Structure 1
Amino acid sequence: MITKVKKWLQLRLEPASTNQNLGIDLATAVLYVEVARADNQFEESEIQFLTQLLKREFSVSESQAQALVRDSRQHAEQAADLVSFTRLLNQQYSGVQKVQILENLWQLAYADGHLDSHEEHIIRRIADLLYIPHSQFIQAKLKAQD
């Protein structure tokens, strides 16, 4: 009986531990995907913007960026929370780099022509998890609107 409980716990805890092994590029892409799918519509304009964003940000080819989008969508669908992804960014990125991610999130949210309240909510959650002050949150939003 105890062995069965241990195996069950290991299976339940295993996905969380695999998120620890994510690369910074995949963790960042998952956050982008979370914003893009927050309004329950992952439109072509958002996919194109996301692909270009990943190519620019991580200096990858078109096919690598598309694979990163595909992988990040799978991770986003399986993720229970955003903490494992933001934790990695907090460990490896400076405050300036995290604000740049926030600006990218806002640009992605506006890529389809309008901002959905769900998109804004998820960006707020990500900003909080990245320890970005509210003033920078607002500045990034205003910058993306321009």
Structure 2
Amino acid sequence: MLIVVTGPPGAGKSSYIQSHAKPTDIVIDLDLMALAMAGPGADHHDHSDTLLAIVHRARYAAIREAEQHLDKVDVYLIQTLPSAKQRAQFKRLEARIVVVDPGRDVVMQRIENMRQPAMKAVATKWYKAQRGQSRSVIPPRDWGW
């Protein structure tokens, strides 16, 4: 099964996966992939354009390959802001969508404390995209925070 974990930057998407995925599951997380490809001591969230270009291509290939194995293994995919085309693909694949959102105030404070300032714009875009959408939100208290 494909489990798409979405939410704004700093919401806790990676933490959700850490508390739910099994060792035999596949996890496709851009930040983890970037860390795996970066040199020692690299920042967890601030990646160069060159590294991101390489990681995006590797991520795309990983997603395509993982789709071929959804009958054998659970695949967790972090997708902050899925496009309409991606949402259609997730529907076709009968993906389970998990929205992690501890609330705008919490997210903005986490970005202030732990992320690059540019992530505030991404979070704002995420919240604007959510207006009027019906969704099930997984608050952090439900999974161990």
Q: Which TM class, normalised by the smaller chain length?
A: 0.3 to 0.5
TM-score in terms of structure 1 length: 0.35
Q: Which structure has more RCO (C-alpha within 8 Å, separation ≥ 6)?
A: 2
Q: Which has the larger radius of gyration?
A: 1
Q: Which of the pair is proportionally richer in helix? A: 1
TM-score in terms of structure 2 length: 0.35
